[in-house]
Every structure is written in structure tokens, then in C-alpha cells.
A and B are shown apart, each in its own frame.
Chain A
């Protein structure tokens, strides 16, 4: 139906990030099946921990250990998991307030269906078999009805716990140490490998009894072989469409023609055309064939070999004002030693069989162009 071209475009990058003392301790802790939070000056425990208080901006460094069990504060049923998400089967997204924490952590909850999920339900961490120090070391949460240590739905307003997570909540003291009755190795003390006990002493359990109920125990945040950085791969898939003007340009190239577009106001011919005159801010509708010959207006000598590019260095990359164009395009110069390329050199495109654009430009053998003829295009 249309002359418009499209092509797949993949943007993919392994973002590497350094972590710092708080995020690094948290992610190292996950590798060791230990969940750390950070205590704010007002006593709130923020999990996952942040380096600066979200309310006061105070620097936060006092790490504490919280339990691998917690309460769902809100949830959403995901019937069609997407690429990169924690579980391949339908699951619930959950915000979970871990026992001992005052804020919630986002993750996935493995559940057979939405009827098995509710706000206030008790859940526990399912650890990934292989852990590297990343949020994905938590494979997901799983239901843990009966796991002790926290208010159940309806108790202490926990059903509405999501409504005001910044306000401290009461732990009701019914259970005490989280992890009890947890057959999955949820007791964080068990997650620490032998010989790996951090300086300052790892707590026996995630929390200690104190007046008013169990309290998260201080944690040094020290681990052997701490994780200091993460690599987070990211991939996004696009279908690139260059629009009308550039589609016409690319299609003409396939016929070994170079198409510019003329501005109706200033009469300049742009190549490659992008559909608008950047001087006048109006559409450039009139197509004009330019070249094939042109003049080198300026150039540089490339001494660094590009990966996946089979061109011997050094070579010359140049701006070329095609005959009839008011804007220079850029291309590689071949067919002449690199140190003999000069401003004013007359060149023509060299096409290789089946190519959709010129491979490079080579000298035509004509006399060099006068400087005055191209000085406005440099």
C-alpha cells in the first residue's frame, strides 16, 4: 500500500553498574540468602534498602537483617508473562512487606491462579538455585500461609497495609522469629555458608525479640567476596520506519540514483532528505536527482579499525557535495592513497553488485574543483 520502508531494529546493551555500600550489601546478601534493609533515623526499616531517606534525604547506612517471609500489600494478576519477567507461567506481581520491614519490595509471586492471591496473604522468598548478587536471586515469592511472625489479614489493619507504608506498622508478636515452621530454608541464618560468618557476627535469625515485638537485628553488611557491580542486560525490539522522505531516498539508492529534496522557500536541495528544511521549517516535497559526481569538501583520516568492518586502515572519510546538492553527505574515499585525498577532489560513487548504497567514492580524474565553488558547503 505504501512506499514506506521498515526494518527490524534491535537495541541491546549489557548495562554494567557499580553498587556502593548499601545496594552492594543488599545484593550480596541475596546471594547468601540474607535479606538486608536499612534503618532510617525515625526507626523505619526500608527494604529494599536505599542510600538516602526517601522522606528526609538523610544518608542511610545502618543495615539490618529482615526475614525472608512477609505480607502482600498489593498485587496484580499477570495472565501473560512477557520476556524477561521472573516466571514463565501466569503469576502475580506483588509488593511484599517483609517481616521487620516498613516498606515493600516488588517481585513475582508463584500462584496457581488469581483466586489464590489476596492482599494480606503470607508469602516467603523462593531463592534462585544459582545466585550471583542480583534482584533475580529471589526467583519469586511463594505462598506461606501459616508462616509465623506477622499480622494476618485483618489484624492491625494489615489488609490496608499498602495504604500507608511509610507509617510504621506493628508486628504483633504472635510468632516471633520468622522462619520458624518454614521448611524451605527460609531462616536467614541458614543461608550463610559455613566459614562465611561476617565480622560483627551474623544474627542467628533475621530478627531479635525486643520490647513491643521482634526487631530486625543489626547487620554489618560485610560478606566475603562482596558484589560490587551488576550487569543488567537490556534488549528492546523495534520496527524502524524512516518516514516518507527517507524511504524515497533509500528506494532511489536501490536504483543507483541519489535523490535530494528541494525546499520550496529557500530552494536549497537537501541530501539525504529528511522531509523538512532545517532553515525554513517547512516540508521539502520536490524531489531532485543529484550527483552522481561530487566534490570532497573536507575529510579526515581514520586510523582505528572498526569491529566487523573489513576496511584496511588508514582510510579517508569525507564530506562530499554531490553536484546539484546544497548539503554535503559523507562517505569513504577509495581508489587513491589516503595521503593524496584533498579538498576539491572530484569523486564518483562505486557500487558493488547487489548493494543498496555506494560502497565508496573514487576519483573521477577531473581537475579539482575551485574552492569558491564549494566553500559554502563545508
Chain B
């Protein structure tokens, strides 16, 4: 068997990141109307025109809109005629970024536009998300997304990994509340409103570029030093909900443990999930100065299918602004941290 390739075969960087304002209800704008200003923003940051982009990849879910192939409507916003090289993942845009990264690594493209959006307001998000569950054993019971996260939170309590007090503090820090703010009413115990993400609509976009193209497009590219994603067993009952081995493995493969990071953007829609991720990513070492979720994370704004891409974009933007030389970004998809993606981003060395 040949030796696996170590490290990226080509330099790839995030050169621009943009996101929309996140609102509880975007009934006034269609998906493409919500997305277009964000696309124009990232293109303007690089000086590129839509025509100049070699590859476009998006993440979204038709189940949020309740309409088949709804993502094709959003393509109007990128100028898809005459035909462009385009792809779509039916999950968070972080995985679309992964696909675009691979496309650039293979030499098929030098630049890529990655975007993601989610309008949760048309439906009942907690019910909509049940449709991603095992259709034989689980989905017919309609366990909603908060209920599944609550099972995980209780498992963490039982294992002694956290308690309600720590969760309340994570929620308050994420939202910028004063410490000790009321944790809210119980949604599905033990989770309270303060432990759960807001349901919002929003969009985000990132531009990736290779090597010298990236250096030409921005003063300080955020180089992707490693990027990997892993998945856990589908059945919740065979998993250890207190741990995230898939996050740990993705982080190892992305090189996250090879040197300390200064900043971590974690996609933890529930306070309890931040506890799992910090343990899996070894961010809780005594004396650690890692800044966790300076953006507020998914507990401040959680547009479905975009919140993971936003973690990558926010970490990259912090590198681009010079606020960190090495940052970690994590994205998740599915119930109870089922699928996890980890990226390591660095400024020019």
C-alpha cells in the first residue's frame, strides 16, 4: 500500500469571508435575495467577478424550505449562465468548503466560491430535523433535535463531565450575557432555553484560492494547513454520547494537535456539546489560553447549514486580521455531533 500523502499537496487559503445578518424570520426575502448581498461582499473583498471563479460549491437543505431542488433557485445569485462548474452538498456549507478544497488540491481549480444558507423560519425546525434520523427505528418516534441533545447533556451530567452551572456559563459567554444570567425555562430537561441555539435564517460565503493566487487576492491569506471530517455510527444507542471520537480523529488528521492554537471556533449548537468538543480537541489543558468562540458561536447565531461554514470563516477572518497565527475551526452536522469536520488555519509564516 502506498504511504498516505502527508500534508496538503498544494497551498490553499481562505481569502474572504462574509455573512448576512441573522434574523428570526426572513419572510421578506427569498433564499437568493438573502444570499446575493453576501456573495457580492466576498467577491468585492477579493476584487473577483463571479465569472473569474473556477468552482462553486454550496451547502443547504431542501427540508428547510420544504421544496425539492430549492438550492437550484439560489444559483441565480451566482450567475450560473453560461454554465459554471458547480456542486452542492445537502448539509452544512463546511462540507461544501471541504469539496472545494479538494477541487483546488487536485489542480482542477485555482479559486472557489463556497456558500451556504438556511431559512428555518418557514417550518418547525425541531420537526424538520427529525427527517435526518434513522427511518426505521427512530424517525417514526419524532424525537426532536432538542430532545436528542438533552439525552447527550444528561449523559454528560451522569458521567460527571459537566453540570447545569457550567452549561449556563457557556450559554452566557456565547451570547455575551452577564455571568449568572438566568438560564431560562426548561425546553427538554436538562436543557434550558439558554442552552439551546436561536432559530434564525442566514447565509455565509467564503472564497478559497491556491498559492500565489491567494497572495495576490489578499494581504494575509488564512492558509488551510489541514482539513478532515469523520462520522460516528448512525444509531445513537451504539455511540458514547459523552465523547466525540470522530472530532478527535478529524483533528488528528488535520494536524490540530501538532502545535497549539490561539483561537478555536467550535460549532456547538448546544452548550453541552461545547463540553464534548473541548474535551475531544484537548482545549481544556490547565493554563490554556485558547480563545473559544470569540464570534459567539452557534449559540449566538445558528443559521442551519451555514453555522459550520461560519465557524471556518470566522476563524479564517481572525487569522486574516492578524488576531491569531494559528486557529482551529470545527463544524458539525447531524444529531448529537454525529459528523464532525476540523480545519487548522494559519497566517503566513
Interface residues of A (CB under 8 A from B): 2, 4, 6, 9, 11, 15, 17, 19, 23, 27, 46-48, 50, 54-55, 73-79, 82-86, 93, 95, 97, 103-108, 114, 119, 134-136, 159-160, 162-166, 230, 232, 234, 236-246, 274-283
8 Å CB contact of A93 from B123, B143, B233: B143
Q: Which residue on B lies nearest to A283, using beta carbons?
A: B36
Task: Let me know if B122 and A238 touch, CB within 8 A.
Answer: yes
Residues 145 to 162 of chain B near chain A (Cβ within 8 Å): 147-148, 150-155, 158-159
Stretch at the interface among B8-16, B182-190, B211-219, B297-305: B182-190
Task: Say whether A82 contacts B127, CB under 8 Å.
Answer: yes
Any A CB within 8 A of the CB of B322: no
B: contact size bracket: 35 or more
B77 on the A face (CB < 8 A):
yes
- Distance between B73 CB and nearest chain A CB, rounded to angstroms: 7
Residues of B within 8 Å of A54, CB to CB, are 233-235, 238
- On whether the beta carbons of A74 and B137 are closer than 8 Å, the reply is no
Instruction: Tell me, in angstroms, the Cα distance from A275 to B37 when the chains sit together.
Output: 12
Q: Within the assembled complex, what's the spacing in Å between the Cα atoms of A136 and B238?
A: 20
B175 at interface, CB cutoff 8 A: no
Is there an interface contact between B124 and A95, defined as CB atoms closer than 8 Å?
A: no
- Return the contact of A135 from the options B80, B140, B239 (Cβ within 8 A): B140
CB distance from B85 to the nearest CB of A (A): 15
On whether A2 and B158 interact (CB within 8 A), knowing A76-B189, A166-B238, the answer reads no
Which 3 pairs, one residue from A and one from B, show the smallest C-beta to C-beta distance?
A243-B30, A281-B79, A76-B150
Bound-state CA distance A10–B327 (Å) is 43
Contacts of B32 in A (CB 8 A): 243, 274-276
Q: A82-B126, A93-B188, A275-B33 are in contact. Are A106 and B136 (CB under 8 A)?
A: no
Check B28 against A75 for contact (C-beta < 8 Å): no
Task: Tell me how far the C-beta of A264 lies from the nearest C-beta in chain B, rounded to whole angstroms.
Answer: 13
The reply to whether A17 and B30 form a contact with Cβ atoms under 8 Å apart is no
Per DSSP, chain A at the interface is mixed
Q: Which of A23, A27, A165 lies in contact with B239, CB distance below 8 A?
A: A165
Contact pick for A74, options B73, B143, B151, B234, CB 8 Å: B151
Residues of B within 8 A of A135 (CB): 136-138, 140-141
Smallest CB gap from B234: residue in A: A54
* Residues of chain B within 8 A of A119, CB atoms compared: 154-155, 158
A241: nearest chain-B partner, CB-CB? B27
Flag if A276 contacts B77 (CB, 8 Å).
Answer: yes
A283-B33 in contact given A27-B136, A82-B142, A274-B76 (Cβ < 8 Å): yes
**Given contacts A27-B136, A77-B186, A243-B29, are A162 and B66 in contact (CB under 8 A)?**
no
Partner of B30, one of A134, A244, A282: A244
B31: which A residues are within 8 A, CB to CB?
243
Question: Given known contacts A77-B189, A82-B144, A93-B188, is B235 in contact with A48 (CB within 8 Å)?
Answer: yes
Q: Which residues of B line the A interface, CB within 8 A?
A: 26-33, 36, 39-40, 50, 63, 65-67, 73, 75-82, 121-124, 126-128, 130-131, 135-144, 147-148, 150-155, 158-159, 186, 188-191, 233-243
Give the CA-CA distance A125 to B240 in the complex, in Å.
Answer: 23
Residue pairs across A and B with Cβ atoms less than 8 A apart, 20 shown, are A2-B28, A4-B27, A9-B122, A11-B66, A50-B238, A54-B235, A76-B147, A76-B154, A93-B188, A106-B237, A135-B141, A162-B158, A162-B241, A164-B240, A232-B139, A236-B124, A243-B31, A244-B33, A246-B30, A276-B33
Partner pick for A162 among B123, B137, B150, B240, CB 8 A cutoff: B240
Write out the residue numbers on chain A whose beta carbons fall within 8 Å of the beta carbon of B81. Answer: 278-279
Given A84-B142, A241-B122, do A274 and B131 touch, yes or no (CB 8 Å)? no
Q: Give the complex CA separation of A25 and B128 in angstroms.
A: 29
Contacts of B150 in A (CB 8 A): 76-77, 93
- A93: B residues at CB distance < 8 A: 143, 147-148, 150-151, 188
Rounded to whole angstroms, the CA-CA distance of A11 and B235 in the bound complex is 26
Chain B residues, CB < 8 A from A245: 30, 33
User: Whole-angstrom distance from the CB of B338 to the nearest CB of chain A?
Assistant: 12
Contacts of A9 in B (CB 8 A): 66-67, 122
Residues of B within 8 A of A237 (CB): 123-124
Question: Do residues A163 and B155 form an inter-chain contact, with CB atoms below 8 A?
Answer: yes
- B80 / chain A contacts, CB cutoff of 8 Å: 278, 281
Interchain CB contact under 8 A, A23 and B136: yes
Chain A residues, Cβ within 8 Å of B67: 9, 240
Interchain CB contact under 8 A, B29 and A277: no
Rounded to whole angstroms, the CA-CA distance of A10 and B80 in the bound complex is: 30
